A and B are shown apart, each in its own frame.
Chain A
């Protein structure tokens, strides 16, 4: 197992390198020049050249990339090209907790809601509970998050006046309750799409598991339907859930551009959007590399959880190693 983990971690290196090259190329081929943010009408060419050199934007694209890579290998993600010149890593660390909180809450919420719904839908296949759940799943998948977010703000903030419309906390109120009030709407919007997707996967897994012979055996032994569902079927349905969790792991740090924008949530999505608008390439690279790393690590964790959850995979490993 340790060998497998080491191998997967080694595979990270070429993947990250390729991602960094492609990201760097894409940013540099995008129309615009980050230097434009600083240009004044009275600037001379000499001043522009000095500025370009100070910002590290002189030299060929290869020089710039190698310079960036060298910094990264020395643990430095570079400095933001915005006026403050703040280190990228510091800026990311400032907003990361906000995004982890929002995305983490919505992921937990999504699983808590979708697992029972998926199981019920699978168990009651083609009966009315399944149809109701499926109907809402389709709505959840189809509904645009910005629209749903605005509807929630109108209903709960403008009309009912029970929740704040944007931000992460009320000025001067750092209480947990206030944080929860701000968290409700954005995490709900993010969860709706997730719940819809996860429910469909779990429903599908439940239906296929219920057709397995071990279920028939359990029925023959007189195990109750609830016992079958929660003691046997649920465990096997966890595999697609693990895959989904692994795939969504990177979203914990990348956040959501749209939902964070609608709710004025100061997280990675907002930071990423602003970096892209300003062609702030050190920030975009930092953001991209972090999400890439987390995507790969997320999948690796999912593989390890497979190993824990499924004895067949464990025995497969042992056979290969043996």
Chain B
């Protein structure tokens, strides 16, 4: 009798475990079943595909995206992280965007830089409205610059050039001028990217840092306005009907906060999200081969690179850096770390291809014989190099392992050490201890704003550890002080070549931002720019 019971028990438990295992396998097998908003999926997009889908544009629909962390306020001024840049993008429009494809105008209808490069005149459109119906005028612009100049507001970016403040003056209700203390060619792009705030909403708050109004207002100028912010859970935006370029096709945009990547993917498969970022080759293959989804490849506008520590006795020697650069094969690193170049094409220079001044200069080519010669000449064979990387960044660890393997082949030992973001930045940028030699990092280098790439200049605040030369530093300054685009292009080409020849950094990849989307969502790649999406007017749903 006991045996019978035991057998029954064993059988029941085995079946239970099998059922669980089968359920877990379903994760990879289950697609959206052609009907992402099937019953029981309460947050699915309202315009689920009908069985007789025709692919015609329909007005309305909800775009649902997700972020791993929530914004901490609705004020774009203080939301400069990835989540803020993405979630508040539909709420606040910039003046204009300078890109490789030309200038795209938003709040401004035109702008002009004076011949001497010291004055920029901007004309706002005359039909602009804040989300509460008030007009947007140069009064808002003047207050905005005044507010940013207050050090207590901790928001001075865009108000200074070479450490000196710019002067802003109104010409009339819709035209204003910005006068620079000295020429800074990249300021044109910086000015265009500023996102104004409504004076009438914030002017009674003397200090904005920590003010409650940052979390309650959210009055912006973009195609969508804040409808509901459920902190830590979701941000719901609705179409702004009085938008100056006409109302968007989508009716609403929702950002859900999902910290866990696995939950995010399941939510996407379940139709609860419209967009999923693909970060591995497996994900790319899976969604590319599924007819229920569309896959788009956008330029991320970043450079991932390996920096050399100028404070380490080993890597302060240019010949050591040259030996390392020649010992590495970037294509093999990408194949091993990313799986293919679709997710991460190889980078050649300090700029990515979407930078205004990117030049197709020749990059490094693996030359093992020369690398071994240099290793023998510098006597570093058998030495150990410490490689630090940001473990929170996708694929960085894989790149570190590939580099470790390739340098081992030429007799160099590499110890790899990952840090969480905050710890990594502290080690990589701010502590000049010289106790690491190689470091993997990345930066944004889109358009023209002399941004993070400036770290290879000896002068920027982030240049404490990174290698550069006096010539390169002088060229950076010359490039920004030159107004003629052709002359600037020549200077930046020289910078790219000098950085390559001085072996001050090893460019790894210029990663792509690859997303899978709900098949019905169109216009995703209308503007090849991240964070998603520069212009929500380009997006629409089909049936």
Which residues from chain A sit less than 8 Å from chain B, CB to CB?
A: 30-34, 36-45, 47-48, 50-51, 54, 79-80, 82-87, 94-95, 98, 128, 131-132, 135, 146, 150-151, 153-155, 157-171, 173, 178, 181, 260-264, 266-267, 270-271, 273-274, 277-279
What 1/0 flags go to B422-444 for Cβ under 8 Å of A? 11011101100000000000000
- Check if A171 sits within 8 Å of B43, measured CB to CB: yes
- Pairs across A and B, CB under 8 Å, 24 listed: A32-B420, A32-B421, A32-B422, A36-B422, A36-B425, A37-B422, A38-B154, A42-B460, A42-B461, A44-B461, A54-B152, A54-B154, A84-B75, A85-B78, A154-B30, A154-B266, A165-B270, A166-B256, A169-B233, A171-B254, A181-B42, A264-B257, A266-B70, A271-B232
Q: Is the interface of B mostly helix, strand, loop or mixed?
A: mixed
Of A33, A38, A85, A264, the contact of B260 (CB 8 Å cutoff) = A264
Given A36-B430, A48-B461, A171-B228: A41 touches B27 (CB 8 Å cut-off): no
Q: Is B451 an interface residue (CB 8 A)?
A: yes
Given A84-B210, A271-B232, are A33 and B72 neighbors across the interface (CB < 8 Å)? no
Give the distance in Å from the alpha carbon of A51 to the alpha carbon of B209 in the complex.
11
Is B210 within 8 A of A79, CB to CB? Answer: yes
* CB of B419 to closest CB in A, whole Å: 6
Of B72, B154, B272, B422, the contact of A80 (CB 8 Å cutoff): B72
Q: Pick from B154, B236, B429 the residue with the most CB of A within 10 Å.
A: B154
From known contacts A42-B461, A167-B234, infer whether A159 and B30 are also in contact, taking CB-CB under 8 Å: yes
Q: Is the CB of A161 within 8 A of B39?
A: yes
- CA gap between A157 and B425 in the complex, in Å: 39
Question: With the chains together, A42 CA to B6 CA distance in Å?
Answer: 72
Whether B232 lies near A166 (C-beta < 8 A) is no
Q: Are A158 and B269 in contact (CB under 8 A)?
A: yes
Assembly CA distance A22 to B236 (angstroms): 41
Q: How far does the Cβ of A298 sit from chain B's closest Cβ, in whole Å? A: 25
Separation in Å of the A40 CB from the closest CB of chain B? 6
**In the complex, chain B residues 93-134 whose Cβ is within 8 Å of any chain A Cβ:** none
Which residues in B have their C-beta under 8 angstroms from that of A260? 259
Contacts of B430 in A (CB 8 A): 33, 36
Using Cβ atoms and an 8 Å threshold, which residues of chain A touch B75? 84
* Cross-chain contact B462 with A39 (CB below 8 angstroms): yes
B233 touches A159 (CB 8 A): no
A85 with B210, Cβ < 8 A, contacts A41-B455, A41-B461, A158-B270 known: yes
B21 nearest CB neighbor, chain A only: A151
Output the least CB separation between A92 and chain B (Å): 12
- Cα–Cα distance between A24 and B455 once the two chains are bound (Å): 32
Is B263 within 8 A of A263, CB to CB? yes
The 8 closest A-B pairs by CB, nearest first: A266-B232, A85-B210, A32-B422, A31-B423, A83-B78, A84-B73, A161-B40, A84-B72
- Contact in complex: A178, B42 (CB < 8 Å): yes
Known: A31-B419, A128-B5, A266-B230. A157 touches B270 (CB 8 A): yes
In the complex, residue of chain A having the shortest beta-carbon distance to the beta carbon of B27: A154
Min CB gap A26→B, angstroms: 14
Query: Given contacts A36-B426, A159-B30, are A277 and B259 in contact (CB under 8 A)?
Result: no
Nearest chain A residue, comparing its CB with the CB of B462:
A41
Q: How far is the CA of A61 from the CA of B393 in the complex (A)?
A: 31
Tell me whether A30 and B423 are in contact (CB under 8 A).
yes
For A87, the chain B residues whose CB sits under 8 A away are 210
- A135 to B163 CA separation, bound complex (whole angstroms): 69
What separation, in Å, do the CA atoms of A267 and B421 have in the docked complex? 23
Does A42 contact B454, Cβ atoms closer than 8 Å? yes
On whether the beta carbons of B266 and A261 are closer than 8 Å, the reply is: no
B452 within 8 A of A: yes
* B270 and A161 within 8 A (CB): yes
Contact A277 B452 (CB under 8 A): no
Query: Quick one: closest B residue to A274, CB to CB?
Result: B69
- Residues in A whose Cβ lies below 8 Å from that of B23: 151, 154-155, 159
Query: How far, in whole Å, are A86 and B419 apart by their CA atoms in the complex?
Result: 28
User: Contacts of A135 on B, CB cut-off 8 Å?
Assistant: 13
Docked CA distance A100–B205 (Å): 34
Query: Do A158 and B266 have beta carbons less than 8 Å apart?
Result: yes
Chain B's nearest CB lies how many Å from the CB of A32? 3
Scoring A84, A153, A167, A262 by chain B CB atoms within 10 A of each residue's CB, the highest score goes to A84
Q: Which residues of A contact B450 (CB under 8 A)?
A: 42
Which chain A residues lie closer than 8 Å to B266 at the CB level? 150, 153-154, 157-158, 165
A228 to B215, CA, bound (A): 59
- Is B201 interfacial (CB-CB < 8 Å)? no
CB distance from B296 to the nearest CB of A (A): 24
B452: chain A residues within 8 A (beta carbon): 41
A165-B266, A264-B257 given; A32·B40 CB < 8 A: no
B214 contacts A by Cβ under 8 Å:
yes
Query: Residue on B with the closest CB to A36?
Result: B425
Q: Smallest Cβ distance from A181 to chain B, in angstroms?
A: 8
Contact string, B228-258, partner A, CB cutoff 8 A, digits 1/0?
1011111010000000000000000010111
Are A168 and B233 within 8 A (Cβ)?
Answer: yes
Contact of A278 with B154 in the complex, beta carbons under 8 Å: no
Excluding A154-B24, A165-B263, 18 further A-B contacts by CB distance (< 8 Å) are A31-B422, A31-B426, A39-B429, A44-B163, A83-B79, A84-B72, A84-B75, A84-B210, A150-B263, A154-B27, A159-B26, A161-B40, A166-B263, A166-B272, A169-B233, A171-B254, A181-B42, A266-B230
B14 at the interface (CB under 8 A from A): no
**Bound: A161/B32 CA distance, A:** 11
> Smallest CB–CB gap between B3 and chain A, Å?
12
Nearest to A94 among chain B residues (CB) is B231
Contact B422–A278 (Cβ < 8 Å): yes
Contact B462 A83 (CB under 8 A): no
Question: Which of B30, B79, B157, B421 makes the CB contact (< 8 A) with A40?
Answer: B157
Q: Mark B58-82, 1 if CB is under 8 A from A, else 0.
A: 0000000000011011010011110
Residues of B within 8 Å of A153, CB to CB, are 263, 266
Q: How far is the CB of B183 from chain A (nearest CB, A)?
A: 16
Q: Which residues of B contact A160 (CB under 8 A)?
A: 40
